[in-house]
Structure 1
């Protein structure tokens, strides 16, 4: 009902290019959805770090987040030219977007999952 009736009347179809806000909203939704689900399991299941990590790992979601981070870096990480004579052709971006996306994918997301696993394990103590 929400998507069919309400959302279609509030927004235009398509991509508005504001990936940053979408990413923040996605994270809030995922946290509010996953936290009650995982914390409702019994202690016999929660003691297994590998199973908890597997529950927190969604490769399709992580790939989508990585793509979003790269797109946001491309949009907001561009080198600004102060003058028209400033024709630095060596780099269009301050930082290579794929580097930021890989850093996020290989460091930020795994570390976030490790913190979530640690939180759930300590909650049982």
Structure 2
């Protein structure tokens, strides 16, 4: 099996991504919700109808696309029509994933802006729209990478036990596939690890140990309510796509 699909390697990648996501959420939580940053046309004269966060995200993706970020199979842009890379292609290892067009970034962005931000940030407006947008781009990109890594998880699981999934794939049975890919014990371990990391990283070194930059339980909830379910959605979509190409 391709090394990228070994469960030990996938687990290592996902654990590293936890830290990236936790730090991104901590950074975002220091600012208020700042709803103006998400309003289309808030800076109409300067950037048109795009929101401040959307503008920052699109411009960031343009730069990253030129640096060939989106040639990697574990990266998925939020915007289409991005510029071609200016760097020459890398000689990369064989992509272990089946060809697919699965990209749920529109859902990820809506969920993040409408549900996650109000959940982790204090209400109100502190005027820090630029800093908010920078933090949001970091959060969205890290969430997208984590959630879409479900493709690697699904491919690994399928290759190890194809017969376990074939009938549900052939029937297009999403509920059956969701049951098969769900491992409650693993999910519990993930949430426990996220809780511990959030408690540790959320404290100010040398400061008041009772004060935290973010409520650790809120970070755990972000995983339990949104990240894990969206990752499983990607897994199911990816497995179902096998039926389209058989």
**Structure 2 stretches lacking a partner, 5+ long:** 1-11, 18-145
**In the alignment, structure 1 residue 98 sits paired with structure 2 residue 217:** yes
Question: What whole-Å deviation, never above 9, does each CA across 1:45-79 have from its counterpart, x for those lacking one?
Answer: 21211111001111111111101001011111213
Aligned-partner Cα distance in 1 for 2:208–2:185:
37
Higher relative contact order (CA 8 A, sep 6+): 1
Aligned-partner Cα distance in 2 for 1:43–1:61:
23
Question: What whole-Å deviation, never above 9, does each CA across 1:30-53 have from its counterpart, x for those lacking one?
Answer: 937524235x23643212111110
**Structure 1 stretches lacking a partner, 5+ long:** 1-19, 82-86
**4+ long deviations beyond 6 Å:** none
Which residue is equivalent to 1:45? 168
**In the alignment, structure 1 residue 60 sits paired with structure 2 residue 185:** yes
Aligned residues: 97
The correspondence for 1:77, drawn from 187, 202, 216, is: 202
SS at 2:211 equivalent: coil
Which residue is equivalent to 1:118? 237
Q: Could you state the TM-score of these two structures normalised by the residue count of structure 2?
A: 0.34
CA RMSD for the aligned pairs?
3.2
Aligned-partner Cα distance in 1 for 2:220–2:212:
14
Quickly say closer, same or farther: Cα 1:36–1:61, change in 2 above 3 A. same
Aligned-partner Cα distance in 2 for 1:21–1:124:
28
> 2:199·2:216 contact (CA, 8 Å) conserved in 1?
yes
Offset at 1:94?
Answer: 0.6
Aligned-partner Cα distance in 2 for 1:34–1:23:
18
Aligned-partner Cα distance in 2 for 1:115–1:21:
17
